Amino acid sequence: MSSLTVRAAAKINLRLGVGPVREDGYHPLITVYQAVGVYDDVTVTASPTWDVAVEPVGAVDVSAVPLDETNIAVRAGRLLVTHHGIDAAASIWVAKGIPVAGGMAGGSADAAATLVALDRLWELHTPDDELLSLAAQLGSDVPFALLGGTALGTGRGELVEPVPDAGGWWWVAVPSATGLSTAAVYQEHDRLGLGDRQLVPQGLLDALAAGSVEELGATLANDLERPALSLRPDLAAPHDAGLAAGAVAMLLSGSGPTWLALCRDHEHAHWVREGLVDAGFADAVAAPGPVAGAHVVEYA
Ligand code: C5P
């Protein structure tokens, strides 16, 4: 085998409870992740040197993605090589459908996909616990990108365990033309003196298990919504447009600026998307959840 492709999904946080900043600069989280059907496909090919290329899928603006050694996919590849003490490199091709700096963990998806792709390409048989630990070193959301589905996240978000989800949810993601820095939103959270919401969200977990869209809509909550809106007051417009288009509820995705409109079913999602497109949000896209974690889609 000389080349293979791994697909990794975007994530959203159905609940993002943020505690006071830790000594290491990270914030303790209690979060519920869900993988949704917006994807990056990462193709790896054995090569004498590391290189990375990024191709946009649809309207995604990839101009801010670094194409050097700082790219998180290259960092993931190098970490795997160091972990196994082997001498190898690869050419990495990212087909990017996940908005950049959108709060949907696109970089984390690329890191997770690269770990899985190179593990298979080089037949390293890395045990799951080791892959999860390498993932955590690359970023707080990377372990969840390996896992997919719906999961409770604790620690700084890197400790993940699956939770029951009756599934079949539909969302409309509303990306923003300009990204937001995750670190800046957390800093704004601290500056605003926001605080300590460290309870396991039992109502939300019950809604997921029961498959009730009304209960889910009533229990979605993201502590980073206030700081993100404080930095970007213009984000009120897509929020209001989503509700006007008939969304059950609007939820900021992670640290933003992408919004998620919760919909009743597939048909409703198309209807809400059309309302958002008519309101000027042309890049709105319908996506199901939960979907799988990083997985091989093609061998070449
Ligand atoms: O872990 P990751 O590299 O994705 O985090 C990006 C930035 O987001 C961190 O440097 C930190 O500023 C912030 N962050 C945080 N608390 C977390 C996760 C991320 O403060 N639990």
The number of CA neighbours under 13 Å toward the Cβ of 116 is 28
Closest Cα to atom 8, ligand 1: which residue?
A: 183
Alpha-carbon distance values, 53 to 141, 170, 262 (Å): 22, 31, 33
User: Relative to the CA of 29, which ligand 1 atom is closest?
Assistant: 21
- Cα pseudo-dihedral 60, 65, 68, 70, rounded to 10: -140
The pLDDT, as a whole number, for residue 110 is 98
**Neighbour count for residue 1 (Cβ, 10 Å):** 10
Share of the chain above pLDDT 90, in %: 94
Can 11 be counted among the known catalytic residues? yes
Helix axes 106-121, 128-138, angle to 10 degrees: 140
Q: What is the pLDDT of residue 284?
A: 96
Paired residues of 3 in beta bridges = 45
Min mean pLDDT across 2-6, 22-26, 71-75, 192-196 is at 192-196
Q: Ligand 1 site: residues with CB under 6 angstroms?
A: 26-27, 29, 139-141, 156-157, 182-183, 186
Q: How far is the CA of 140 from the centre of ligand 1 (A)?
A: 7
- Distance from Cα 277 to the centre of ligand 1, integer Å: 32
Per DSSP bridges, beta strands 89-96 and 51-56 are parallel
- Residue 195 clears pLDDT 80, i.e. is over it: no
Q: Are strands 285-289 and 169-174 parallel, antiparallel or unpaired?
A: antiparallel
Could you give the CA distance from residue 276 to residue 282 in angstroms, rounded to a whole number?
A: 7
Give the pLDDT band (50/70/90) at residue 60.
Answer: very high
Tell me the pLDDT band of 196, cut-offs 50, 70 and 90.
low
Closest CA to ligand 1's atom 14: 26
The alpha carbon of 280 and the centre of ligand 1 are apart by a number of angstroms equal to 32
Q: Residue 183 C-alpha to ligand 1 middle, in angstroms?
A: 6
Other C-beta atoms lying within 10 Å of the C-beta of residue 230: 15
Pick the closest to residue 135 from 32, 153, 4, 52 (CA basis): 153
- Give pLDDT, residue 93: 98
End-to-end CA distance of the chain: 7
Tell me the whole-structure pTM to 2 decimals.
0.97
pLDDT of 198 over the 70 cut: no
pLDDT value at position 214? 97
pLDDT per position as a tens digit, 70-119: 999 999 999 999 999 999 999 999 999 999 999 999 999 999 999 999 99
Q: What is the pLDDT of residues 217-248, one digit of tens each?
A: 999 999 999 999 999 999 999 999 999 999 99
Counting ligand 1 atoms within 8 A of each CB, the residue from 29, 79, 156 with the most, and so the one to mutate, is: 156
CA angle 216/180/76 to nearest 5° reads 90
In the residue annotation, 206 being an active-site residue is answered as: no
Average pLDDT in the chain? 96
Three-state SS at 100: coil
The reported pLDDT for the residue numbered 229 is: 98
Atom of ligand 1 nearest to the CA of 25: 20
The catalytic residue among 40, 110, 141, 223 is 141
Contact 31, 16 (CB under 8 A): yes
- Averaged over 24-34, what is the pLDDT? 96
With tokens 């957390």, the residue in question is 186
